[in-house]
Amino acid sequence: MPPPPARGYECFPLKTTTATALAFIVGALAGGWLAACGHGVAPSTDSGVSDTDGGEPDSGDATSADAGDSDGGTPDGSVPDAGPDAGPVDAGSSDAGLDRDLDGIPDELEARLAADYLPYLAVHPSDGCKLGGMLYRVRKHPADAGLIHIVYDHLFQTDCGLTGHVGDDEAFAITVNPAKPAPFGITAMKAISHQGTVCQKVTSCGTCNGLTACELGTYDAGTRPVVYSSKDKHGSYVSLAVCNDILSCLDSCVAAPPLAVTLVNAGEPEAHLVENLTTQGFITADAGWTESSLFDFNPWDTGTPFGGAGVIASDLVDPAFDTEPCF
Contact 266, 273 (CB under 8 A): yes
**Stretch 309-326: mean pLDDT:** 98
Q: What is the pLDDT of residue 248?
A: 85
DSSP states along 202-240? EEEEESSTTPPPPPEEEETTEEEEEEEE-TTT--EES-H
Q: How sure is the predictor about 319, in pLDDT bands with cuts at 50, 70 and 90?
A: very high
Cβ-based neighbours of 301, under 8 Å, separated by 6 or more: 311, 313
Confidence grade of residue 245 (pLDDT, cut at 50, 70, 90):
confident
Where does the pLDDT of residue 293 fall: very low under 50, low under 70, confident under 90, or very high at 90 and above?
A: very high
DSSP 175-205: EE-TTS-TTTTEEEEEEEETTTSTT-EEEEE
* pLDDT tier for residue 11 given thresholds of 50, 70 and 90: very low
**Cβ count near 39 (within 10 Å):** 18
Distance CA 138, CA 176 (A): 10
d(CA 185, CA 187): 6
Furthest-apart CA pair in the chain: how many Å? Answer: 58
Residue 94 has pLDDT above 80, yes or no: no
Task: Give a yes or no: residue 106 inside a domain.
Answer: yes
Summarised one tens digit per residue, pLDDT across range 44-92 is 333 333 333 333 333 334 333 332 333 333 323 333 332 323 333 333 3
Average pLDDT over residues 255-267: 95
Classify residue 6: in a domain, yes or no. no
Q: Which helix (H) or strand (E) holds 134?
A: strand 132-141
Average pLDDT, the chain: 78
DSSP string covering 241-310, please? Answer: HHHTSTTSTT-----PPBPP--EEE-EETTEES-S-TTTTTSS-TTTT---GGGTT--TT-TT--STTS-
Any idea what DSSP says for residue 78?
P
Give the pLDDT score at 95. 66
Residue 268 banded pLDDT, cuts 50, 70, 90: very high
Please, which pLDDT band fits residue 247 given cuts at 50, 70 and 90?
Answer: confident
Res 17 pLDDT > 70: no
The string of pLDDT tens digits covering residues 281-292 is 999 999 999 999
pLDDT at residue 279 above 60?
Answer: yes
Mean per-residue pLDDT, 308-315: 97
For residues 56 and 63, is the Cβ–Cβ distance under 8 A?
Answer: no
- Does pLDDT of 223 surpass 60? yes
Question: Whole domain around residue 218: which residue ranges?
Answer: 44-321
> In the predicted model, what is the mean pLDDT of residues 199-228?
94
The answer for residues whose C-beta is within 8 angstroms of residue 190's C-beta and 6 or more apart is 172, 173, 174, 202, 203, 204, 238, 321, 322, 323, 324
**Three-class secondary structure of residue 77 per DSSP:** coil
Q: Is the pLDDT of residue 162 over 70?
A: yes
pLDDT of amino acid 14: 32
Residue 20 has a pLDDT of 35
Q: How confident is the model at residue 35 (pLDDT cuts 50, 70, 90)?
A: very low
**pLDDT above 60 for 236:** yes
226 vs 43: which has the higher pLDDT = 226
The domain tally of the chain equals: 1
Cis peptide leading into residue 225 (ω within 30°):
no
Q: Which pLDDT does position 204 carry in this prediction?
A: 98
* Per-residue pLDDT at 169 exceeds 50: yes
Q: Is the pLDDT of residue 173 over 80?
A: yes
Using 50, 70 and 90 to split pLDDT, how confident is the model at 222?
confident
> What pLDDT shows up at residue 270?
97
* pLDDT over 90 percentage in the chain: 65
Out of 132-146, 248-262, 270-284, which region has the weakest mean confidence (pLDDT)? Answer: 248-262
Phi-psi region of 163 (alpha: psi -120 to 50; beta: other; left: phi over 0): left
CA–CA distance, 142 with 12 (Å, rounded to integer): 18
Instruction: Tell me whether residue 25 is in a domain.
Output: no
Task: Say yes or no to pLDDT of 179 above 80.
Answer: yes
pLDDT of amino acid 21: 32
